[in-house]
Amino acid sequence: MIEYSYSSPEMQAKIEALLPKITEHRRDLLMKVVQNRTRHFCMVLEDLFDPHNISAVIRTAEVFGLEDVHIIEEVNPYKVNKSILKGSIKWMNLYLYEKRKACMEHLRKKGYRIAVASTNTENSVLDLDLSQPTAFYLGSEFTGNHPDTLAAADCEFKLPQYGITESMNVSVAGGVLMCYLDHFMQQHGRKNFTLPPAERDALLVEWLERHINDDTASSSITRIACE
Which residues, other chains included, contact 156 with Cβ-Cβ below 8 Å and sequence gap of 6+? 115, 116, 117, 118, 120, 121, 123, 150
107 assigned binding-site residue: no
Q: What is the DSSP letter of 192?
A: G
The answer to whether 44 and 68 are in contact (CB under 8 A) is no
Pairing of strands 134-138, 155-157: unpaired
Among candidate residues 163, 110, 173, 108, the one with its CA nearest the CA of residue 140: 173
Q: Which residues are annotated as a binding site for S-adenosyl-L-methionine?
A: 159
Q: Which residues are annotated as a binding site?
A: 159
